[in-house]
Every structure is written in structure tokens, then in C-alpha cells.
Chains A and B, each alone.
Chain A
Amino acid sequence: MATKVDVIGEINKYDFRAEERYVYRARKGLDRDIVAEISAIKNEPQWMREFRLKALEIFESKPMPTWGGHIDVNFQDIYYYIKPTERQGHSWDELPEEIKKTFDRLGIPEAEKKFLAGVKAQYESEVVYGSLREDLAKRGVIFTDMDTAVREYPDLVREYFGTVIPPTDNKFAALNSAVWSGGSFIYVPPGVHVEYPLQAYFRINAAQMGQFERTLIIVDEGASCHYVEGCTAPMYSSESLHAAVVEVIAKRGARVRYTTIQNWANNIYNLVTKRAVAYGEALVEWVDGNLGSRLTMKYPAVYMVEPGARAEILSVAFAGKGQHQDAGSKVIHAAPYTSSRIVSKSISRAGGRSSYRGLVKIERGAKKSKSNVVCDALILDPYSRSDTYPYIELEEQDVMIGHEASVSKIGEEQLFYLCSRGLTESEASTMIVAGFIEPLVKELPMEYAVEMNRLIALQMEGSVG
């Protein structure tokens, strides 16, 4: 049952919110009661409640994945639902020096800084983005959090929810389906073009970066939008497991771009299922940057189900000390004249391990399909590791498929050249790494690109070629 808790005494390295207040906190552990309770707290309709309970059964019946990284999580030792009240209570000055330094170095605006650090419960979105939201509403664009969407747009949600990633897809998608909370819901009506990136910050009064976020984006025929989620600032959480689900539906002729930069704290298992369905002539782009976390397993996917659909996936992974980035992408060509392009860049340093794991599948009948995959990896020291596991499955002859991958270290000649121009070895390395990830950075909105470059510099600190 729900309990009223005023003070949580649990403090660890990242939990600097010593005196958070919660209205509800479900007890630790996972069973039917907890799931039913989450549903009840949220006042959900019957179908969602049944969906959650069914998903729980699926979660329990599925074995842990035996591939990818090593996952050491006790599912009964996790709070699956916490409803926050006002999350403020302490000042900027109370934050650990290291974190403040990180924010300063990243050059994050004061307002965002406080939100990201958990000083403020909400980013002051009303003030900053109010006019934008008004404009969206006028054109029929729905942009809200998922919990609200279930209540206010039940028909729309019910039609699409769980259709791209059913709970049976994998163990962590099932877990998310059972206990999801928060995340974004976007609907763009036919023919509407949203010119500016929609950012998670726009939303108000929602549990923001939940552990079990659920995002659903529907872009109707001929419409377009760009959604930006996450941030380059380190995200702190006392819980060790994050299992999000992102579903994207791009109808005929639609264009969707989904940009994520995630920089989790080093104790986090980040296990995300992201998948898009692209209908005729639609274009889906995933831009995905993964930094931090202990283990990330994330493979953004695009199912091209009608002729002419396109997919572009751009990903960058940076694995530092004690980190394993097992990231990649999946493209399924299920219709003729579909095309996909995947560019993956990974960097390993200080004993980190980055793996590219991807799938290109051409189904029978998907003739004239084209796919090109390029994976480049950079290893910065002898203790780090880089893997590439691309899977290519073809059931159709009339296609063009190419895959390339290479692994190398920073070239001595490049370093030497830069050093001869007066840079230190560390500065030179940083510059080379920045050049290496340039294809991703240039796709980011300006402020993210700047932050990303600073972040790489921060990660590179103290590393020598």
C-alpha cells in the first residue's frame, strides 16, 4: 500500500537531495499488488491496468538476456514508483563541488542547472517556453507527458500504445510496460511541420527523467517534428536500473528525428528499447549519444514497412572507466525501395568497453532496398576494448548492402602534427576525438553541440593518446 514518507534517509554518492518529500512511495519490490497500486494511484482506465498486469506476467516468464553486458540487478530491491511533490528543499550551494564544477564547465544556463541538479523540482518552462507551447496547441500538436495523455487522450493513446514495442518484445520492455511512469507523448496532425525542436523541458509538472519512462510519438501523414530528449549534464539517480521504452510512428510521408544525449551516472544500468515504424516515404532519424552509465544496452530500431521508407541512425558511444556501452542499431527492410544508413562512432578509454551490435535485415520481397553501415571505433589506451557485432540477414537478392568497420587508435602523426602547432598532447587528443565524433555533433541543436564538445573534453581530461 501507499505510505506517506516525509524523509528518506537513503543517501549515496549521487543522492545529494537529502530531504526529498514524497506523497506516495510504493514499497520496494515487484509483484501484482505494486503494479495494481501504480495503476490505481494514476487513476488509470481498466485497459491500462490490465496491460500492466499482463506485462508483469511476461516479464516474470522471460529469462535474463545472456548476451550483451553483464546485468546484476536485484529486481526486488528497487522502488518502482515514487510520486514526487515539490522536489526542492536545498540550495545550489549545498551541492557537491564536483557536480557544480561539471555544470559550470558545460555552460548550462542557471535555470536549467538548478533543475538538472535537482535543486528545483521543475524547470521554469512556463516562463521560457510558454509562447512556444501556445503556438503548438493552436496547430493541434499534442505535447504532454505520458500519464496525462492516458487521461486526456485515451483513444489516441490506446490505438498506438504498445503497438510498436509489445511487452513480449524483451524482458525489459515487459518490465517497463508493467511499471512505466512519465515520458513524453507527442501527436503531430497531418501536414503540420514543427520547425523548432520539441524538448522534454517544454513539458510542465511532470515526473521528468523517470526510471521507467514511456515515450510515444505519432507523426501523422506528411507532418514532421524533431524531438530532443535527455541532456549532456550528468543525470543522477539513486536507483540503479533505468529501463525506458520509446515508440515512434511515422506515417506516410512523415519525418521524425529523435535526438538523445544521455550521460548517466556510473552506477546505472541503462536498458532502453527504442523502435520506430516508418510507413511509405517516411523518414525516421535517430541521433543517439551515449555517455556514462555502468552498462548501456540500447539499439534504436526502424521498421520500414511500406515502400520508400527511410532510416538514418547516427550514434556515438563513449566508454570510460568501468563502463560498457553496448549500443547499436537495427533496421528492418520489410518493403521494397526502402533505404537505411547507419553511422556509428565509439570511443573507449581507461578500461572502458564499447560494443557496436547491430542488425540489417532485408525481408523477402523488399527489393531495391539499400543499406549502408559504417562503424568506426577509437581506442585511447591499451586497457580498453572495442567490439563490433553487426548482423546482416538477407532474404532478397535485388538489394545493395554495404558494411564497413574499423578500429584504430589516435594516429601518432596527427598527434605529432598538432603538438608541433603548440598544443599539449592532451589538448591534441581531445581535438582529434572531437573531430572523430563531428558527424554526430553537427546534427545536434546548437546548444547541445556546444555542450557535447565540452563534455567530451571533460571526459578526455587526463587522458593521453
Chain B
Amino acid sequence: MVLPDLKQDLHFTAEGFQNVILPRPQPEWSREFRLRAFETFQELPWPNRSMEEWRRTELRIFHLENFVCWAPVPDPLPEVPSALAPRLETAGRIVSLNGRKISSSVEEDLLEKGLVVECLEDSLSGPHEELIRQHLWSLFEWRTDKFSALHAAFWTGGTFIYVPPGLKVEKPILHVAALAANQADVGHTLIVVDEEAEATVVTETTSLDPAAEGLFCGGIEIFVRPGARLRYVNFQNWNQKTFHFARQKAEVAERAFMEWTLGALGGRLAKVNQEVVLNGPESEAIVNGVMFAEDRQHLAYHTRQDHRTGQTKSDLLYKGALQDHAHLVWRGMIRVEPGAIRSDGYQRNDNLMLSDTARVDCIPGLEILADDVRCTHGATAGRVDEEEIFYAQTRGLTRREATRLVVTGFFQQVLDRITIDSVREALGDIIQQRVREYRSRD
């Protein structure tokens, strides 16, 4: 299989677009789309803090010109660190570096039954062209801001997962996305789980160099067709120097079910829009968020639960812990469209502050345009209870052990909602390792 290698370095400039992106082999519709997206990219201003969406996020530390997608795939291929790969028994795997596939494999019998785990860019002109064309960019709102337009114009590589009708894939499909020093990943992920099919997809992001900067500017579009079930895990575990800009959106059709777990651990600055659209009666989505920020990390996650039709259900739980000078932002919205009666929406955000200098903004939201609904949200924030620490210490634990215990307990509620054992354990372990000794000021 041909690696979708670039002919030369890709800079995110007009030249880069003309010389590298346009000449790439792709169907005409894709080229036309990129041209429009590039035009939009050039027209749009960089987001700034006078925009409500970006008011809490300082972009001055980000410089697009510092990043490049380089041309050669290194030889030999580097070792890709992964917290999940050793723990998961998978039905298929794909590993990408800087957004481009370096390896993929699918179990023989599933391949025969039509399961696709491939590079998206490669698949554009393959047998699934029509399917991709129907779905690609139909959920991703590429005109929203400069980052989304940049992604739509410049995207390369990416991942395409297709589960044909009725196919039930029991073991998870794993996608590991790695980033090398000062590189950019502008990959796009498209997942289509066809009618009555079932699958589990796990995406993990990781940095080769723990101390080098990196850029991710990506998008995910997920379609869960009627009656299908998808468990999806998005495990963002970049190093703490990476800039992460992502728009992720799933559409859940009638009778379909999606469980979406999001781990937000890495990144110097992360700005993520996670949206789930309930687009048919009896569709249901469960959204879990586990956020842990430390040092000077800024993690901003904007979620949206869109009830387009009635008899839909969504349940979101985001839990965040933060220490040092970290800043967490969670902004959520439940939207119920007119006529979407008997919708049931819930959102909850709890935050645990482990230092005096951390900062958290939580902004739940409801927009309800129908009457016969049940929509509720809750948000809390607080610190570790000094009495709990004291109690644990009297039982012989050190202060640090006690703090870990409290933090683990805090996350247990959301970890318990994750139905994939290995993912739940990996998340729990990583958080435990990161908790430092908690010391209150008084």
C-alpha cells in the first residue's frame, strides 16, 4: 500500500497550498472543496479574545509559522509510545505519524466482511468514494473559524473507518496518532457505522518527543446510522507543549446509540468543540469527559448536545481536576429544537481544584425550544476535603497517597461509566501518576 507521503515540506501558506496540497492526487470535488476552504481560511481573521468563543483562551503564544508537515516518512520508523496499545486486544489498528498512516491492519475475516480501517486520503478515490463524498464535511463546520478552515483546506492523511451494515465488531479498533517534534497533524477522521452494526473505536494521541512543540488541527466526523451502536474513545494524551485545535461531531440516527468518552490530559493549549447530534427517535448518547490539567496547561472544551428530534436522550458528565497554574474551561450546551418533545438531556460538570493557583471556568447552558422535555444541568467546584486527607493519614497513608485516593474517588463516577476495561484502567493510572502532593494554604 502506498504511503500518502508529501512531495515536499508543507507550510500553511498560500505557496504550501498551491505547491503541495492542490497537486496531490484527489478527485475533482475534493480539490474544489479545498479551494473554497482555502479562500475562507484567508478571509477569516485569527480568533481573538473579543470573540465570545475565544474569550477565555489566550492565543498569543501560538504561531502557525513554527509548524510544518515534513515530507519524508522517517526510515526506520520511530517507536511510537502508547498507553493503550499494549493493553488492548484489537480487531484492527492504524498508526499515523504527523497525520499520515505508517501502518494499518485488520483481522482477516473482518476484512472480508467489509470492515475498513484505512487512511482517509488514500480512500478518497477508492471503492468507497461515493460513501465518503456523501459524508465528508457534512458535519464538520469548516467555516466557523480560521482553524476549521485551515483544517478543511490543508488536511492530509487522516483515518477512515467503515463498519458495514449488520457487522458486529467485538474487539476495539485502535488508532494511534503520533506527532514528532515541531510537526503538525492536520488529519481528518471519518467514521461511519452503518445500520445495525456495532463497533468500538479508540483514538489515542501521543508525542514522540515529550518536550518539543507540536500542532494538531484536526476534525472528526462520526455517523452512527439507524440501529447502530458505537463506543468511541478519544484519548488526548499529547505532551504538554502541543497545541490542539479540534472539532469533533457525531450524528446519532434513530434507535442508534453512542457512548463517547473523551480524555483530556495533554496539550499546552487545547481548544476542542465536541458535539453530538441526536437525529432520530430513540437515539441516545452518553458523553464522558475526564480532564486533568497541570503546570500551565490551558484546556478549553466546548460541548454541545443537540436534540433535533423528539424521544432522544443525552447524558453528559465531565469531570476535571487541576493543579499548579492550570486553567480548565468547560462550556456546555443542551439544545432542544422546536418540536423535539420528550427529549431528555442532562449535563454535569464537576471540578476538583488541587492548588491555589489553578483556575476553572464552567459554563453549562440550556436552549430549550420545545415544551415537553426534561433538561437538567449541574456544575460544582471545590477542593480536596482536608478532613478526608487527615482521616487517610491517621490510617497510615502519606499525604500524597491520600490525595491520590481522593482524586481517584473523584473520577470514579465518570470512570465507572466507561465500558471498556482497558481504557478505564489506563485513564485511571495516568491520572494517578500525575497527581502531586496536595498542600492547602492553611
Given A379-B368, A401-B381, A403-B379, does the pair A394, B360 have CB atoms closer than 8 Å? yes
User: Considering the chains assembled together, what is the distance between the CA atoms of A397 and B321 in angstroms?
Assistant: 11
Contacts of B338 in A (CB 8 A): 382-383
Tier of interface size on chain A: 35 or more
Asked whether A385 lies within 8 Å of B369 as measured between CB atoms, the reply is: yes
Once the chains bind, are B383 and A397 in contact (CB under 8 Å)?
yes
Measured between alpha carbons, how far is A301 from B373 in the docked complex, in Å?
A: 31
B362 touches A408 (CB 8 A): no
Interface 1/0s, chain A 361-405, versus B by CB < 8 A? 000100100000000010111111111111111111111111111
**Given A394-B359, A397-B354, A404 and B377 contact (CB-CB distance below 8 Å):** yes
The answer to whether A394 and B351 have CB atoms under 8 Å apart is yes
Q: Given B356, B370, B441, which contacts A382 in the complex, CB threshold below 8 Å?
A: B370
Residue interface mask B360-395, A partner, CB < 8 A = 1: 111111111111111111111111000000000000
> In whole angstroms, what is the CA distance A380 to B383 when docked?
39
* Cα of A400 to Cα of B379 in the assembled complex, Å: 11
**Shortest Cβ distance from residue A348 to the other chain B in the assembled complex, whole angstroms:** 9
Select one of A388, A398, A409 contacting B377, CB under 8 A: A388
| B382, closest chain A residue (CB) | A400
Interface of chain A: mostly helix, strand, loop or mixed: strand
Residues of A within 8 A of B383 (CB): 397-399
Q: Shortest distance in angstroms between A385's beta carbon and chain B's nearest beta carbon?
A: 5
Complex contacts, B365 vs chain A, CB 8 Å:
387-390
Q: Are B380 and A401 in contact (CB under 8 A)?
A: yes
Considering only CB atoms and an 8 Å cut-off, how many residues of chain B contact the other chain? 39
Residue B440, interface by CB 8 Å: yes
Q: Is A47 an interface residue when CB atoms closer than 8 A count as contact?
A: no
Please give me the residue from chain A that is nearest to B52 by CB atom.
A67
- Is A367 a contact of B361 with CB atoms below 8 Å? no
Across the interface, do A405 and B380 meet the contact criterion of CB distance under 8 Å? no
Docked complex Cα distance between A398 and B355 (Å): 9
Q: Is A407 an interface residue (CB 8 A)?
A: yes
Is A406 located at the chain interface by the 8 A CB criterion?
A: yes
Residues of A within 8 Å of B440, CB to CB, are 397-398
Select which of B52, B341, B363, B370 is within 8 A of A390 by beta carbon.
Answer: B363
Would you call B364 and A390 a contact (CB within 8 A)? yes
B residues less than 8 Å from A364 (CB atoms): 356-357
A141: shortest Cβ distance to chain B, in Å?
41
Taking a contact as CB atoms under 8 Å apart, the answer to whether A402 and B366 are in contact is no
**B376 adjacent to A405 (CB under 8 Å):** yes
In the bound complex, do residue B368 and residue A385 qualify as a contact, i.e. CB atoms below 8 Å apart?
yes
Using A392-B379, A394-B351, A409-B373 as known contacts, say yes or no to A386 and B362 having CB atoms under 8 A apart. Answer: no
* Most A-side CB within 10 Å, residue of B371, B377, B440: B371
Give bound CA distance, A81 to B372, whole Å.
47
Min C-beta distance of B173 to chain A, whole Å: 37
Residues A382 and B366 in contact, CB atoms below 8 Å apart: no
Residues of A within 8 A of B379 (CB): 390, 392, 401-403
- CA of A396 to CA of B356, assembled, Å: 6
Q: Which B residue's beta carbon lies closest to that of A400?
A: B382
User: Which residues in chain B, 232-257, are within 8 Å of chain A measured between CB atoms?
Assistant: none
A404 touches B368 (CB 8 A): no
Chain A: which residue is nearest B380 at the CB level?
A: A402
Contacts of B381 in A (CB 8 A): 392, 394, 399-401
* Residue of chain A at shortest CB distance from B364: A390
Complex CA–CA separation, A389 to B371 (angstroms): 18
B353 touches A403 (CB 8 A): no
Please determine whether A406 and B351 come into contact, CB atoms closer than 8 angstroms.
no
Question: Would you call B368 and A401 a contact (CB within 8 A)?
Answer: no
Closest to A403 in B: B379
B339 CB within 8 Å of chain A: yes
CB of B366 within 8 A of CB of A387, answer: yes
Query: With A403-B378, A403-B379, A404-B378 as given contacts, are A397 and B355 in contact (CB-CB < 8 Å)?
Result: yes
Task: Report the nearest A residue to B329, measured CB to CB.
Answer: A393
Q: Which of A380, A389, A392, A404 has the most CB of B within 10 A?
A: A392
Q: CA A143 – CA B439 in complex, angstroms?
A: 52
Whether A406 contacts B363 by the Cβ 8 Å rule is: no
Whether A392 pairs with B376 at a CB distance below 8 angstroms is no
Q: What residue of chain B has the Cβ atom nearest to residue A384's Cβ?
A: B371
B314 to chain A minimum Cβ distance, whole angstroms, is 14
- Point out the residue from B364, B367, B372, B375 that lies within 8 Å of A385, measured CB to CB: B367
B17-76 interface (Cβ within 8 A of A): 52
Q: Output the nearest chain B residue to A371 by Cβ-Cβ distance.
A: B381
Tell me, yes or no, whether B358 is within 8 Å of chain A by CB: yes
Q: How close is A221's CB to chain B, nearest CB, in angstroms? A: 29
In the complex, how many angstroms separate the beta carbon of A198 from the nearest chain B beta carbon?
37
| Contact indicator B372/A409 (Cβ below 8 Å) | yes
Q: Which of A414-447 contact B (CB under 8 A)?
A: none
User: Taking CB as reference atom, which chain B residue is nearest A362?
Assistant: B381
Minimum C-beta distance from A22 to chain B (A): 43
Q: Which residue of B lies closest to A368 (CB)?
A: B442
User: Cα distance A404–B349 when bound, in Å?
Assistant: 10
Q: Is the CB of A399 within 8 A of B372?
A: no
Q: Is the CB of A397 within 8 A of B353?
A: yes
Q: Are A387 and B368 in contact (CB under 8 A)?
A: yes
The chain B residues found within 8 Å of chain A, CB to CB, are 52, 338-339, 341, 351, 353-383, 440-442
7 additional contacts (CB under 8 A) given A382-B339, A401-B379, A405-B377: A379-B373, A380-B371, A392-B381, A397-B354, A399-B381, A401-B381, A403-B377
Residues of A near any B CB (own CB < 8 A): 67, 364, 367, 377, 379-409
- 27 CB-based A-B contacts, threshold 8 Å: A367-B441, A377-B368, A382-B370, A382-B371, A386-B366, A386-B368, A387-B366, A389-B363, A389-B365, A390-B365, A391-B361, A392-B361, A392-B379, A393-B361, A394-B353, A396-B353, A397-B353, A397-B354, A397-B355, A397-B358, A397-B383, A401-B381, A402-B378, A403-B379, A406-B375, A407-B375, A409-B373
